[in-house]
Protein backbone atom coordinates (compact mmCIF):
# COMPACT_ATOMS: atom_id res chain seq x y z
CA UNK A 1 0.00 0.00 0.00
CA UNK A 2 1.45 3.33 -1.09
CA UNK A 3 -1.04 5.78 0.49
CA UNK A 4 0.51 7.50 3.51
CA UNK A 5 -2.72 9.41 4.17
CA UNK A 6 -4.55 6.12 4.81
CA UNK A 7 -1.81 4.93 7.18
CA UNK A 8 -1.73 8.31 8.92
CA UNK A 9 -5.47 8.05 9.58
CA UNK A 10 -4.96 4.59 11.10
CA UNK A 11 -2.14 5.84 13.31
CA UNK A 12 -4.26 8.76 14.56
CA UNK A 13 -7.01 6.25 15.46
CA UNK A 14 -4.73 4.20 17.73
CA UNK A 15 -5.10 4.56 21.50
CA UNK A 16 -2.53 6.83 23.18
CA UNK A 17 0.60 4.99 24.32
CA UNK A 18 2.60 7.60 26.26
CA UNK A 19 0.27 9.76 28.31
CA UNK A 20 -1.98 11.52 25.77
CA UNK A 21 0.48 10.84 22.91
CA UNK A 22 0.54 8.13 20.25
CA UNK A 23 4.29 7.57 20.03
CA UNK A 24 5.28 6.11 16.64
CA UNK A 25 8.85 4.84 16.17
CA UNK A 26 10.59 4.78 12.80
CA UNK A 27 13.63 2.51 13.12
CA UNK A 28 16.05 0.92 10.67
CA UNK A 29 19.70 0.90 9.71
CA UNK A 30 21.60 4.16 9.29
CA UNK A 31 21.06 5.32 5.72
CA UNK A 32 17.80 3.39 5.23
CA UNK A 33 15.67 6.52 4.71
CA UNK A 34 14.16 6.94 8.19
CA UNK A 35 14.41 10.74 8.33
CA UNK A 36 12.91 11.26 4.88
CA UNK A 37 10.09 8.82 5.55
CA UNK A 38 9.38 10.29 9.00
CA UNK A 39 9.16 13.75 7.43
CA UNK A 40 6.68 12.57 4.82
CA UNK A 41 4.63 10.66 7.37
CA UNK A 42 4.62 13.72 9.67
CA UNK A 43 3.20 15.78 6.80
CA UNK A 44 0.51 13.16 6.17
CA UNK A 45 -0.29 13.35 9.90
CA UNK A 46 -0.91 17.10 9.65
CA UNK A 47 2.63 18.20 10.56
CA UNK A 48 3.11 15.89 13.53
CA UNK A 49 6.27 16.62 15.52
CA UNK A 50 9.34 14.47 14.82
CA UNK A 51 12.00 13.77 17.43
CA UNK A 52 15.30 12.77 15.79
CA UNK A 53 17.36 10.46 17.99
CA UNK A 54 20.50 12.06 16.50
CA UNK A 55 19.58 14.97 18.79
CA UNK A 56 19.93 12.75 21.88
CA UNK A 57 22.92 10.62 20.87
CA UNK A 58 26.49 11.91 21.12
CA UNK A 59 29.89 10.92 19.74
CA UNK A 60 30.62 9.17 23.05
CA UNK A 61 27.12 7.71 23.50
CA UNK A 62 25.89 6.53 20.12
CA UNK A 63 23.30 4.25 21.75
CA UNK A 64 23.44 5.21 25.44
CA UNK A 65 20.73 7.88 25.16
CA UNK A 66 17.90 5.91 26.80
CA UNK A 67 18.18 7.73 30.15
CA UNK A 68 18.19 11.14 28.45
CA UNK A 69 15.14 10.16 26.39
CA UNK A 70 13.27 8.96 29.47
CA UNK A 71 14.12 11.96 31.65
CA UNK A 72 13.75 14.71 29.07
CA UNK A 73 11.12 13.38 26.66
CA UNK A 74 9.03 10.30 27.43
CA UNK A 75 8.74 10.99 31.18
CA UNK A 76 7.23 14.45 30.72
CA UNK A 77 5.07 13.37 27.75
CA UNK A 78 3.69 10.42 29.75
CA UNK A 79 2.49 12.96 32.34
CA UNK A 80 0.96 15.18 29.63
CA UNK A 81 3.72 17.76 30.12
CA UNK A 82 5.98 19.36 27.49
CA UNK A 83 9.28 17.62 26.86
CA UNK A 84 12.42 19.73 27.05
CA UNK A 85 15.67 18.47 25.58
CA UNK A 86 18.94 19.98 24.41
CA UNK A 87 19.83 18.67 20.94
CA UNK A 88 23.40 17.54 20.39
CA UNK A 89 25.42 19.53 17.85
CA UNK A 90 27.54 16.95 16.01
CA UNK A 91 29.92 19.62 14.68
CA UNK A 92 30.47 21.52 17.93
CA UNK A 93 30.38 18.23 19.92
CA UNK A 94 28.19 19.83 22.58
CA UNK A 95 24.53 20.09 23.51
CA UNK A 96 22.80 23.19 22.15
CA UNK A 97 19.91 25.35 23.36
CA UNK A 98 16.91 23.59 24.89
CA UNK A 99 13.94 22.81 22.65
CA UNK A 100 10.38 22.20 23.78
CA UNK A 101 8.26 19.36 22.40
CA UNK A 102 4.62 19.83 23.33
CA UNK A 103 2.38 16.77 23.77
CA UNK A 104 0.56 16.12 20.50
CA UNK A 105 -1.90 13.47 19.33
CA UNK A 106 0.94 11.77 17.39
CA UNK A 107 4.69 12.22 17.82
CA UNK A 108 7.20 10.40 15.63
CA UNK A 109 10.54 9.25 17.03
CA UNK A 110 13.00 8.40 14.28
CA UNK A 111 16.47 7.00 14.47
CA UNK A 112 18.50 3.85 14.79
CA UNK A 113 17.28 2.12 17.92
CA UNK A 114 13.89 3.89 18.11
CA UNK A 115 12.30 0.48 18.59
CA UNK A 116 14.63 -0.66 21.33
CA UNK A 117 13.42 -2.80 24.23
CA UNK A 118 13.34 0.09 26.74
CA UNK A 119 11.12 2.20 24.49
CA UNK A 120 8.72 -0.44 23.07
CA UNK A 121 6.23 -0.33 26.00
CA UNK A 122 5.61 3.37 25.23
CA UNK A 123 5.07 2.91 21.49
CA UNK A 124 1.72 2.85 19.74
CA UNK A 125 3.47 1.45 16.63
CA UNK A 126 6.95 0.43 15.56
CA UNK A 127 7.75 0.92 11.88
CA UNK A 128 10.92 -0.59 10.40
CA UNK A 129 12.56 0.79 7.25
CA UNK A 130 13.14 -2.51 5.49
CA UNK A 131 16.47 -2.04 3.75
CA UNK A 132 19.43 -4.28 4.58
CA UNK A 133 22.41 -3.04 6.56
CA UNK A 134 24.99 -3.13 3.75
CA UNK A 135 22.80 -1.22 1.28
CA UNK A 136 21.70 1.27 3.95
CA UNK A 137 25.27 1.93 5.08
CA UNK A 138 26.43 2.40 1.49
CA UNK A 139 23.69 4.97 0.96
CA UNK A 140 24.69 6.73 4.17
CA UNK A 141 28.38 6.78 3.22
CA UNK A 142 27.54 8.26 -0.20
CA UNK A 143 25.31 10.87 1.44
CA UNK A 144 27.93 11.93 4.01
CA UNK A 145 31.01 11.73 1.76
CA UNK A 146 34.61 10.72 2.40
CA UNK A 147 35.14 13.23 5.24
CA UNK A 148 33.03 11.01 7.54
CA UNK A 149 34.59 7.67 6.50
CA UNK A 150 36.19 6.99 9.90
CA UNK A 151 32.96 7.94 11.70
CA UNK A 152 31.04 5.45 9.53
CA UNK A 153 33.58 2.71 10.26
CA UNK A 154 32.97 3.15 13.99
CA UNK A 155 29.23 3.62 13.51
CA UNK A 156 28.66 0.37 11.60
CA UNK A 157 30.45 -1.60 14.33
CA UNK A 158 28.38 0.12 17.04
CA UNK A 159 25.12 -0.38 15.16
CA UNK A 160 25.87 -4.05 14.56
CA UNK A 161 26.55 -4.53 18.28
CA UNK A 162 23.38 -2.63 19.21
CA UNK A 163 21.05 -4.64 16.98
CA UNK A 164 22.73 -7.91 18.02
CA UNK A 165 21.90 -7.16 21.65
CA UNK A 166 18.57 -5.36 21.13
CA UNK A 167 17.01 -5.99 17.71
CA UNK A 168 14.03 -3.89 16.64
CA UNK A 169 12.98 -5.47 13.34
CA UNK A 170 11.50 -8.65 14.89
CA UNK A 171 9.11 -6.47 16.92
CA UNK A 172 8.05 -4.16 14.08
CA UNK A 173 4.32 -3.73 13.46
CA UNK A 174 4.99 -2.81 9.82
CA UNK A 175 7.89 -3.04 7.38
CA UNK A 176 8.25 0.03 5.16
CA UNK A 177 10.23 0.04 1.94
CA UNK A 178 10.97 3.08 -0.17
CA UNK A 179 9.89 2.69 -3.79
CA UNK A 180 10.80 4.86 -6.80
CA UNK A 181 7.47 6.61 -6.13
CA UNK A 182 6.25 6.46 -2.54
CA UNK A 183 6.45 3.61 -0.04
CA UNK A 184 5.39 -0.01 0.32
CA UNK A 185 3.91 -0.59 3.79
CA UNK A 186 3.55 -4.22 4.90
CA UNK A 187 1.59 -4.77 8.10
CA UNK A 188 2.72 -7.67 10.27
CA UNK A 189 0.47 -9.74 12.45
CA UNK A 190 1.44 -10.66 15.99
CA UNK A 191 2.37 -14.13 14.74
CA UNK A 192 4.85 -12.62 12.27
CA UNK A 193 6.60 -10.67 15.01
CA UNK A 194 9.19 -12.27 17.23
pLDDT digits (tens, 9 = 90+) for 148-166: 888 888 889 999 999 999 9
How many residues would you count in the chain? 194
60 or 189, greater pLDDT: 60
Judge whether 24 and 125 are in contact, CB under 8 Å: yes
Judge whether 126 and 34 are in contact, CB under 8 Å: no
Q: Report the alpha-carbon distance of residue 7 to residue 1 in Å, rounded.
A: 9
- Number of other CB atoms surrounding residue 113 within 10 Å: 25
Summarised one tens digit per residue, pLDDT across range 95-126 is: 999 999 999 999 999 999 999 999 999 999 99
Q: Cα separations (Å) of 108 from 7, 47, 157, 160, 173?
A: 14, 10, 26, 24, 15
Q: Report the alpha-carbon distance of residue 77 to residue 101 in Å, rounded.
A: 9
Taking residues 38-60, report their average pLDDT. Answer: 96
Phi and psi torsions of 86, nearest 5°: -105, 110
CB-based contacts of 44, cutoff 8 Å, min separation 6: 4, 5, 7, 8
Q: What is the pTM of this model?
A: 0.94
Amino acid sequence: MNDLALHAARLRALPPSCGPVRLIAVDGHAGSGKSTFAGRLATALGDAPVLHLDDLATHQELFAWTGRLREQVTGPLSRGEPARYAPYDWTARAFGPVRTLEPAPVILIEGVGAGRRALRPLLARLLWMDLGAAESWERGRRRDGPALRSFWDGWTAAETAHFSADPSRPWADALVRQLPMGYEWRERSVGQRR
